[in-house]
Amino acid sequence: MSLWTLNYNGTEHDLPTWNIRADISIEFISKGRCTARVSTTEAFDAATPQFSWKNPVTIYANRSAVGAGGFAYFRGYVGKIKRVAEGPNQGIAYEFYDVWWLLERQNFKQVRNNITAVDATTHARTYGTPVFLSEIYLGEQVSLSGFLVSLQTNGAEISEILSWLNECNNTTRQGNAYTGHSSSVTVANDIVNFWGRPGQDQWPPGGGLPGTAIDSGNGNAVMDPQAIIPYTRVQSISCAEAIINMLRWSPSVTVQRDFTTSPPTINFRDQLGPNTLPLSTINLSSAQERSVQARAEYERQLPGVIIEYKRTSTINGTPVIARSVDYWPLSIFDTGLSPYNGPDFTPEALSLFVELSGGTVTVTSVTPSVVAIANATSGVSATQLAFWAEYEPLLKNNPNISAITFTNSSFTVEAPGSTTAINTTAFPNVLLPKSSIPAWLVNQGTVVVTDAVMSIQATFTQKNAAGLQTHQVTRYIHARVKVTNAANTSYAGVSTGGTVDPVPTLGAGGLANQIYNGLSALTYSGRLTILETQFASGDLTGLVPGAPLKLIGPTNSYSNLFIQSVRCRPHFGELEVEYGPAARLDARDLIELWRCTRERRLYDMPSGRGSGQPGGGGGSLDQSGDTPVENNSSPPGDNTYMAEVAPH
């Protein structure tokens, strides 16, 4: 065996110096925790075990000397510590876990903008410090600064999850990007590297992600899963479980660790894509293997994948159903005889159903009652009188008043409490007293309305209460009104509630395409145990989860073998390799993704991140309106609110 060493918390020795027994084993798993198991000759009742909980550990292989040559074969943390005594034999057994262990222990949270106040008049929102919630929307990308949301790929979601792990474990992060101190972030203190790993000023990672599956800025980190997925709401989920949920959409993807980098890099490689690791070929006739198994996975081959999306929206109280079908390959469309053209009759095709949230839509209309301000000075006496009679009841159908005239040159329209004239070109109409303009119409931005005071001098002949004696009166009429550019026409407003899930991409590049590509090719599963004679050839670095493997026998060659787990026993000169389709990802497990509830509590950064627009609670229209206020109001025969200029 070549020289293997262990670095614990910055101190490196060879294995015997650490009193490690010969039964050391290191196991790598694609979609799970990688584990190094060592046992030492320490006393059962040692006061302090030499390896302490969660301290960092690195195991090096093929060293030329302690601290020189070779490569990092495993990086992780001290986990389980078990004291053992069997007769005269004593020791302590340790298990070291890689960074996936921290993903299992860390709850995933997502950030939302936090509304601290809403202006009652303008409805403008005041935002405080963002908050982090355990209510998770997988597949949503958030832009805090733009108050926008959108669909994102499962690969981008995985990057968001890994970013959260760094955000929690890098003590120079932990919210610095939110408080304006992002320059103090030390990226080198991150505990994991990956595609799209944020720098100092990128959090959350949305918008800063590269558009390809190779991120050269992070050491050529690979993120092959790039399927646009529907939103999935979950509550209180670990980072590891969230990643597994995302990988269900891309069944052919395996997880590969690169422990030669610091921090270690996690790559997500599509077994059928362009970013696979170099192919390792083993000639079975050379007798270098101790045992070998290979089983053709015919039952995992799919002739086609069909995904039906159903979205039910409620429009004015009536359910409206929209249905979309994604299928792959396109050749399965014509399996049905006319008139049943479509993919539904494909034998053994995987058919899945996804119900999307549709939200509610309510259409409200209003027709304001307005009259032109020009009527206030109209040359037609009946028109002018009808205008002012709306604001002074004394002038309306009063038999004791006659010969009414108005001094048009005295007419003014001013802001209340001032002499500032209001532009009647911008506000050409007056809202009638019994009419209103709802707030939602003003918020649309087309209709404007403001308070005003109209004044004009009127002259008329008035009889006394007995209807006999007459005298001429000259007075000013004042009316506080709402002036507007609204017309006597119908305006429509739409209120929305809930969250509308967008339909993911259909056809090429869609989910059906992704799933089919991962489960259509014939693959082999099995186990291979090879001996130390191959260790020297560099297969320690080539035979890792995520790498392709080819076995060449005397008669047949076995391709499409993808390594899912590796178990190394250095002292025994033995390497056990398990290969096959992506582990733990039976396509029917996808159904689990669609069992989560679709009822969503909306936030301003919607936890409904679908339409790209901020959400709102409730979704109802603001029906409050602008109505005339403080108009003249005189009972019949009284002129309480009319200022008398000069009696006649």
Tell me which residue range forms the domain holding 386.
Answer: 370-489+622-647
Does the pLDDT at position 203 exceed 50? no
| DSSP states along 29-89 | ETTS--EEEEEE---TT-SS-SS-TT-EEEEEEEESBTTBSSEEEEEEEEEEEEEEEETTE
Whether residues 421 and 450 share a domain: the answer is: yes
**Smallest Cα–Cα separation from 44: which of 93, 11, 9?**
93
Q: Is 307 part of any domain?
A: yes
DSSP 532: G
Query: How large is the C-alpha radius of gyration of the chain?
Result: 38
What are the pLDDT digits (tens) for 228-268? 777 788 888 999 999 998 988 887 888 999 999 999 999 99
Does the pLDDT at position 644 exceed 70? no
Peptide bond preceding 428: is omega within 30 degrees of 0, i.e. cis?
no
Q: What is the pTM of this model?
A: 0.68
Q: Is 535 part of any domain?
A: no
Whether residues 38 and 111 share a domain: the answer is: no
How many percent of the chain have pLDDT more than 70?
80
Whether residues 86 and 162 share a domain: the answer is: no
pLDDT mean over 210-221: 69
Whether residues 605 and 630 share a domain: the answer is: no
How many percent of the chain have pLDDT more than 90?
31
Q: Is 318 part of any domain?
A: yes
Whether residues 18 and 131 share a domain: the answer is: no
Domain count of the fold of the chain = 4
pLDDT of residue 534: 54
Whether residues 635 and 592 share a domain: the answer is: no
What does the mean pLDDT of the chain come to? 79
Does the pLDDT at position 358 exceed 60? yes
Whether residues 111 and 245 share a domain: the answer is: yes
pLDDT higher for 468 or 49? Answer: 49
DSSP 182: G
∠ CA 106-112-113, rounded to 5°: 145
224, 213 in Cβ contact below 8 A?
yes
Does the pLDDT at position 168 exceed 60? yes
pLDDT of residue 497: 67
The helix/strand/coil state of 102 is: helix
**Domain boundary, last residue among 98, 119, 151:** 98
Ramachandran region of residue 342, left (φ > 0), alpha (ψ -120 to 50) or beta? left
Q: How confident is the model at residue 214 (pLDDT cuts 50, 70, 90)?
A: confident
Question: Which range has highest mean pLDDT (154-163, 322-331, 536-545)?
Answer: 154-163
Q: Is 32 part of any domain?
A: yes
What are the pLDDT digits (tens) for 322-353? 888 888 888 877 666 666 667 877 887 888 88
Whether residues 337 and 257 share a domain: the answer is: no
Lowest mean pLDDT among 83-92, 132-141, 169-178: 169-178
Token couple for 96: 């070291």
Q: Is 522 part of any domain?
A: no
Whether residues 123 and 244 share a domain: the answer is: yes
Q: How confident is the model at residue 484 (pLDDT cuts 50, 70, 90)?
A: very high
Whether residues 179 and 251 share a domain: the answer is: yes
51/8 Cα distance (integer angstroms): 7
Which helix or strand (DSSP H or E) is residue 13 part of?
Answer: strand 11-14
601/642 Cα distance (integer angstroms): 55
∠ CA 352-357-155, rounded to 5°: 65
What are the pLDDT digits (tens) for 600-636? 333 333 333 333 333 333 344 444 555 554 444 333 3
Does the pLDDT at position 205 exceed 60? no
Does the pLDDT at position 537 exceed 50? no
Q: Is 82 part of any domain?
A: yes
pLDDT of residue 125: 78
pLDDT of residue 536: 52
Q: Is 293 part of any domain?
A: no
Whether residues 397 and 354 share a domain: the answer is: no
pLDDT of residue 212: 57
What are the pLDDT digits (tens) for 498-525? 667 777 778 887 878 877 877 777 778 8
Tell how far CA 268 is from the center of its chain.
20
**Domain boundary, last residue among 53, 72, 98:** 98
Give a three-class secondary structure readout of 344-382.
CCCCCCEEEEEEEEEEEEEEEEECCCEEEHHHHHCCCHH
Q: Token pair 């429509």 is at which residue?
A: 492
Does the pLDDT at position 583 exceed 50? no
Whether residues 410 and 344 share a domain: the answer is: no
Q: Is 208 part of any domain?
A: yes
* Number of Cβ within a 10 Å radius of residue 66: 15
**Domain boundary, last residue among 68, 98, 128:** 98
